Structure 1
């Protein structure tokens, strides 16, 4: 296993400064990015790119999100310690680790079986412990543990899945990139039994959220 070295930590500090310059302000989010060894979440051949602000391919045709995107989505969530958070798209586990670092109770769903198995094992190895990792369909959410304080979707959704809105607590926040080719980062705040406030935050690019074909 690749180690986390002084050089890696230096590169993370540079990345944190870059994210600050791009407008990320939440101290705890920046602290998480500065603490978590992102290079361990990537194929070793990409290790030198780990602290650039770019997305990179991982297994199963998926990507590890750009650090700015991870920081931006996490900031929109407004994570508090002990928040119960549903993550749709475990992927490499990097976003999962950020949420764990922020002391959230994380429930995460991944629909690519090889990725699910690999990430589940890997997160335990490096000491990040989500409450529950699930192999399943993100469009359905995870009703058995609902309601959630926060829900984050880390893939592009052509529409907002109704189950996700239903599984959000009143006062809760759902952060989801919505769109086909390009996505608009969208925040839904549940204001009542049937009411949601919607806020939009510009264009992003994500791999598509896949429906369960297994």
Structure 2
């Protein structure tokens, strides 16, 4: 084994034991998946040495604000909270490098992931193909356009994941969930944002929980509440 490969395996072990487990991610399936899907192969070459570090990784060089891979512990905790099943039909908004889609693709039946930046979408497709992930479709589109029209093709969804923060969860998006389905989003304004899980419990009823706090970059073009005050 080369020194480089050895270093990555040691860093992966440290990531799981020192970053992931302390964040209350103890699900054996999730931990095994993090060991199997090589995160460094989804990171731009300029930042590859940082791939398993406890930080957000820029998706381009030079870095573009808001375009990043989320910290490993955030992706792992999200994956654990979603409790994906082999029958799940999943929508992700904010593909980035394709890493989160790859993790979900290993657990779910199929994943549609939407990326607004055409260059990132192309990179994600290449990364997923290289990783042998065949049940993930990457669509280049502004997911929020036309009341989420680009998301409708594969609806209803068992799971919707927003891989970026939003001010609030749009009703139009919740309506794409199957009854019994769940949506994950990070909701709020800096410095306070909360991981939010919304379950569609009936045709017009929803139940939400906010189990942990984290601040992550905004998704582009999602509705922002009016800041006007009388």
TM-score (norm 2): 0.85
Whether contact under 8 Å (1:79, 1:104) holds in the other structure is no
Q: Which runs of 5+ in 1 are unaligned?
A: none
Say yes or no: does 1:96 pair with 2:97.
no
5+ long unaligned stretches in structure 2: 223-230
Shift of 1:9: 2.1
Matched, 1:122 2:127: yes
Q: Which residues of 2 match residues 197-208 of structure 1 at below 5 A?
A: 197-208=207-218
Q: Which residue of 2 aligns with 1:13?
A: 13
Name the SS of the counterpart of 1:54 in structure 2: coil
Looking at structure 1, the residues matched to 100 and 54 of structure 2 have their Cα atoms a distance apart, in angstroms, of: 14
Q: Could you tell me the TM-score, scaled by structure 1's length?
A: 0.91
When the two structures are aligned, how many residues end up with a matched partner? 210
The equivalent of 1:174 in structure 2 is: 183
Q: In structure 1, the residue corresponding to 2:113 is in which secondary structure? A: strand
Of 166, 173, 176, the residue aligned with 1:164 is 173
Distance 1:198 1:187 in 2: 5
- Residue 81 of structure 1, CA deviation: 1.4
Q: Name the counterpart of 2:221.
A: 211
Given that 1:90 and 1:110 are in contact with CA atoms closer than 8 Å, whether structure 2 keeps it comes out as yes
1:188 alignment partner in structure 2: 198
The alignment partner of 1:34 has SS state of helix
Residue 39 of structure 2 corresponds to which residue in structure 1?
Answer: 38
Q: CA deviation at 1:48?
A: 1.9
Aligned equivalent of 1:56: 57
Larger Rg belongs to: 2
CA contact (8 A) 1:28 1:102 kept: no
Deviation at 1:74, TM superposition (A): 1.0
